[in-house]
């Protein structure tokens, strides 16, 4: 018999409605003692997927009127009997109702426990359970589309198809190793094996490549705004974020620390860090800012390099161009209202996306949005084919990829097949861990620890 868990499933604070969810063998029995329906039908006789209006009680004290919805196992989110109490969304009412459920034998649900029970009941794969978190966190159309397809099992299907192929290769190898002299067990030819492994590697790498796209949609694009002092970085930042957060002055070197701002441009979110200008400085505090700027540039998804278009390029502009060369970057040649005196072709030689703008006098969000689309959304993977959604999934994929690469090297060098089998077994295990088909309790616990209570 499972314990019966209860939690408030709606966010804290006042609202139109709050929902208390109770799941487990005793859920209906507990709800029955907390609820008197208007229509007089006993709660114990309510069928699954039905609801009733009535009064919620804590013992003999009427707390609120509202709606009770009953779900009967196995046709519920968790697969267990479930009662959902929808009451007025005040903090006091929902807390009192939750306490009443505890007094009647329910225990507090842990973070993600409703979804964990759904996973353990086989209602969701591990990646589909993770999608529940992504759906809650989605803050734009594209991230929502990825989370929806993850929820519908796109990643599970994609990875499962690859692990099926690995398992077939393993079965062929095992049959050949066990019955090498049997006529009806075909020999696993070296070339055929290599061809299959190369195909698997290609598909694993393609799946792993979707991670960056998914991360960018979920977390936003980690962006560093850089350029020498006074070119207009703070002005750009303020223009994008809509209000003056950075300090804008005429004196060089006033933006000392790193300020981060989230700016939505179309379907993408920029996580914009405005940093101290990159230049050699003897000021110790400022040097800290410069070091941080270098580190941020090294780690960023995107570099927005600002130049003063009204002046010719100077040594530190060239140094910045050299530092950025080859990275994902957009050059903002600023102050176009003063006329352009900068050598545009020298900038274009290092940064293919160059926008001539005037952050102070004209809209920069529109041209920037177009450049961002070209950089991040062109050739983006189709969410329906499965976009890897988190670090756990990515790590499983990279483990599988590493083992398959080693197996390919081993086959090429003529290493005995049982050694190859060990490597491929490991690869298959990593994929089965990703889908949750062979995840340890620890892995499962870690996944659900990221959830909020009530989900």
Q: Which residues bind ligand GDP (CB under 6 A)?
A: 227, 229-235, 248-250, 255, 334-335, 337-338, 358-361
Quote the CA–CA distance of 239 and 234 in Å, as a whole number.
8
Quote the CA–CA distance of 196 and 210 in Å, as a whole number.
22
Q: How far is the CB of 342 from ligand GDP (least distance, A)?
A: 13
Beta bridge partners of 273: 224, 260
* Residue found by looking up tokens 């490549």 in the block: 209
Quote the CA–CA distance of 283 and 232 in Å, as a whole number.
21
Q: How far is the CB of 341 from ligand GDP (least distance, A)?
A: 13
Q: How far is the CB of 364 from ligand GDP (least distance, A)?
A: 9
Q: Which two tokens stand for residue 61?
A: 């004290």
Cβ distance to ligand GDP smaller for residue 347 or 396: 347
Question: Exposure pattern of 24-39 as b/e (b: 16+ CB <10 Å)?
Answer: bebbbbbbbebbbbee
Each as own residue / partner, the long-range contacts of residues 336-340 (CB below 8 Å, 24 or more positions apart, any chain) are 336/309, 336/362, 337/361, 337/362, 338/309, 338/310, 339/310, 340/309, 340/310
Cβ distance to ligand GDP smaller for residue 133 or 359: 359
Q: How far is the CB of 237 from ligand GDP (least distance, A)?
A: 8
Query: Cα–Cα distances in Å, from 182 out to 185, 193, 276?
Result: 6, 19, 72
| Contact between 329 and 353 (Cβ < 8 Å) | yes
Question: Quick one: CA dihedral 41, 46, 47, 52, positive or negative?
Answer: positive
Cβ distance to ligand GDP smaller for residue 189 or 361: 361
Q: What is the DSSP letter of 377?
A: I
Cβ distance to ligand GDP smaller for residue 292 or 377: 292
Cβ distance to ligand GDP smaller for residue 105 or 367: 367
Q: How far is the CB of 280 from ligand GDP (least distance, A)?
A: 16
Helix 141-151 and helix 190-219: axis angle, to 10°?
130
Q: How far is the CB of 64 from ligand GDP (least distance, A)?
A: 54
Cβ distance to ligand GDP smaller for residue 69 or 230: 230
Q: How far is the CB of 311 from ligand GDP (least distance, A)?
A: 11
Beta bridge partners of 348: none
Residue 369: Cβ within 10 Å count: 16
Q: How far is the CB of 263 from ligand GDP (least distance, A)?
A: 16
Cβ distance to ligand GDP smaller for residue 83 or 226: 226
Residue 438: Cβ within 10 Å count: 14
Cβ distance to ligand GDP smaller for residue 252 or 374: 252
């Amino acid at each position: 018999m499972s314990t019966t868990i209860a939690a408030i499933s709606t966010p804290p604070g006042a609202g139109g409605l709050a929902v208390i969810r109770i799941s487990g063998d005793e859920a209906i029995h507990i709800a029955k003692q907390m609820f008197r329906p208007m229509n007089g039908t006993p709660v114990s006789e309510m069928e699954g997927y039905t609801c009733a209006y009535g009064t919620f009680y804590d013992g003999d004290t009427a707390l609120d009127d509202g709606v009770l919805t009953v779900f009967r196992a196995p046709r519920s989110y968790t697969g267990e009997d479930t009662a959902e109490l929808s009451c007025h969304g005040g903090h006091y009412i929902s807390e009192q109702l939750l306490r009443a459920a505890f007094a009647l034998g329910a225990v507090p649900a842990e973070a993600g426990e409703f979804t964990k029970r759904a996973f353990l009941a086989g209602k969701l794969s591990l990646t589909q359970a993770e999608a529940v978190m992504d759906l809650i966190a989605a803050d734009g159309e594209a991230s929502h589309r990825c989370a929806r397809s993850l929820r519908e099992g796109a990643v599970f299907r994609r990875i499962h198809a690859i692990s099926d192929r690995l398992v077939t290769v393993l079965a062929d190898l095992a049959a050949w190793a066990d019955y090498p002299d049997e006529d009806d067990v075909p020999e696993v030819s070296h070339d055929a094996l290599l061809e299959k492994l190369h195909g698997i590697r290609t598909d694993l790498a393609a799946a792993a490549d979707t991670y960056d796209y998914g991360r960018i949609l979920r977390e936003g694009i980690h962006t560093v705004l850089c350029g020498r002092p006074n070119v207009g970085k703070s002005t750009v930042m303020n223009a994008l974020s809509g209000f003056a957060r950075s300090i804008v002055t005429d004196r060089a070197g006033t933006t000392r620390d790193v300020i981060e701002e989230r700016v939505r441009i179309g379907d993408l979110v920029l996580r914009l860090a405005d940093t101290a200008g990159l230049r050699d400085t003897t000021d110790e505090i400022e040097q800290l800012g410069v070091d941080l700027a270098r580190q941020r540039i090294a780690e960023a998804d995107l570099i927005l390099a600002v130049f003063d278009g009204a002046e010719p390029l100077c040594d530190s502009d060239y140094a910045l161009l050299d530092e950025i060369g080859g990275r994902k970057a957009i050059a903002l040649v600023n102050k176009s209202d003063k006329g352009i005196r900068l050598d545009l072709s020298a900038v274009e030689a290092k940064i293919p996306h160059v926008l001539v703008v005037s952050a102070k006098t004209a809209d920069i969000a529109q041209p920037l949005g177009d450049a961002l689309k070209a950089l991040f959304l062109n050739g983006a993977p189709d969410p329906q084919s499965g976009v890897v959604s988190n670090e756990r999934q990515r790590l499983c994929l990279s483990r599988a990829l590493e083992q398959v690469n080693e197996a390919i090297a081993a086959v090429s060098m003529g290493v005995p097949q049982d050694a190859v089998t060990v490597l491929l077994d490991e690869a298959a295990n990593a994929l089965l861990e990703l889908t949750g088909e062979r995840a340890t309790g620890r892995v499962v616990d870690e996944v659900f620890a990221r959830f909020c209570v009530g989900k």
